Amino acid sequence: MTNVPLGMPQLPAPDYPADVRERLAADARQVIARYPDSRSALLPLLHLVQSEEGHVTATGMRFCADMLDLTTAEVTAVATFYSMYRRKPSGDYQVGVCTNTLCAVLGGDAIFSALQDHLGVGNGETTEDGAVTLEHIECNAACDYAPVVMVNWEFFDNQTVESAKRLVDDLVAGREVRPTRGAPLCTFKETARILAGFPDERPGATEASGGAGPASLVGLRLARGEAPAGRVVGPRAETPPPRSTSGTPEGHPSSHDAPESTAASDPAHPTGPVPGRGPGDADDKRDDKRDDKRGDRRGDKRDDQGGAKGGEGR
């Protein structure tokens, strides 16, 4: 009988070094104590292990399973369902460009496309220096500030192609970057710790960027008679405007990451084994709600002609 490699990870995954494990276990016990049922702590614990390694590894999942008395299969099923858990080493700064309809139409597609060219990476890919991971995200509940870019889940409102390029340049150069709403950026790992339920201890972090953003206040200001009134314009155009000669994308104005291949059939697909990772990474064979159904060709720049959307989570 010949051995047929199935791409399955070696189990069990290696454990954390003792000191790391002890530290994380103390944190985990705090998290678990918040819930009447320990399993409720799973999502925060996955954020916690992500704050240790920058992505959710098989080791991290094993740790969660141990802490909660679950199987690693149960933990893997959850970790692969949610788009905020990264499954491969990624950058310190996760730059997410909203390309849901409203932001896309208002400029998100152009921003995403320009950032891919500017950084030389595709969707879900990381710059060589490990600083920036670029992805497109879904609606982030800031439509009145469109187009929106999120960095480590802090708001960068009302972006343009130029401002977004400056933003990633600053991130790559290591300059301090302040969001329009949120605190001065910390790294992705530090952000993940806040998400695990450990408040940001930096002085001024909660106060940073002040009260509500400007768009949140327009109604209030009008109600106080502080701004002039305008007029609504009449009925919509009978026919669409003609196609302009400049700035017309080749082919498709919308995105295309149509499934043409699956993870199983396309070794280049990021759902497949990730090169350079140790044995025992249980997430090599993934159980992803998205990847089950559609082989999004994340990272394929051809797909992102007009700004892509689809496979990568918010």
Partner 1 sequence: MTTTESAEKLLAPVLSAFWDEPESWTLETYRRHDGYQGLRKALAMDPDDLIAFVKDSGLRGRGGAGFPTGMKWQFIPQGDDKPHYLVVNADESEPGTCKDIPLLFANPHSLIEGIAIACHAIRSQHAFIYLRGEVVPVLRRLHAAVAEAYAAGYLGPDALGPGKPLELTVHAGAGAYICGEETALLDSLEGRRGQPRLRPPFPAVAGLYACPTVVNNVESIASVPAILARGQDWFRSMGSEKSPGFTLYSLSGHVAAPGQYEAPLGITLRQLLDLSGGMRPGHRLKFWTPGGSSTPLLTDEHLDVPLDYEGVGAAGSMLGTKALQCFDETTCVVRAVTRWTEFYAHESCGKCTPCREGTYWLVQLMRDIEAGKATMADLDKIADIADNINGKSFCALGDGAASPIFSSLKFFREEYEQHITGRGCPFDPARSTVWADDAGRSDDNAHLEVNA
How many residues sit close enough to partner 1 to count as binding (CB under 8 A)? 124
Shortest separation between residue 185's beta carbon and partner 1, angstroms:
10
Q: Which of 9, 13, 24, 44 binds partner 1 (CB under 8 A)?
A: 44
Which of 16, 155 has the CB closer to partner 1?
155
Residues in contact with partner 1, shown as a per-residue x/- string from 117 to 156 under the rule CB under 8 A:
--------------------xxxxxxxxxxx--x-xxxx-
Q: What is residue 154's three-state secondary structure?
A: strand
Q: Which lies closer to partner 1 via its Cβ, residue 208 or residue 280?
A: 208
Interactions with partner 1, residue window 101-120 (CB under 8 A): 101-102, 104-107, 109-110, 112-114
Q: How far apart are CA 78 and CA 285, in angstroms?
A: 14
- Contact segment (CB under 8 A) with partner 1 among 5-13, 94-102, 125-133, 263-271 equals 94-102
Which parts of 252-311 interact with partner 1 (CB under 8 A)?
A: 252-256, 258, 289-290, 292-294, 305-307, 309-311
Q: Which residue type occupies 125?
A: E
| The pairing of beta strand 93-98 with beta strand 149-151 | antiparallel
Q: How buried is residue 137: exposed, middle or buried, by Cβ count under 10 Å (0-12/13-18/19+)?
A: buried
DSSP assigned state of 181: B
187-246 positions binding partner 1, by CB under 8 A:
191, 194-197, 199-200, 205-207, 209-225, 227-237, 240-246
| Residues 48-77 close enough to bind partner 1 by CB under 8 A | 68, 77
User: Could you give the CA distance from residue 201 to residue 313 in angstroms, rounded to a whole number?
Assistant: 28
Q: Which helix or strand (DSSP H or E) is residue 193 part of?
A: helix 188-195
CB of 307 to partner 1, least distance (A): 5
With a CB cutoff of 8 Å and minimum separation 6, the contacts of 87 are: 55, 56, 79, 80, 274, 283, 286
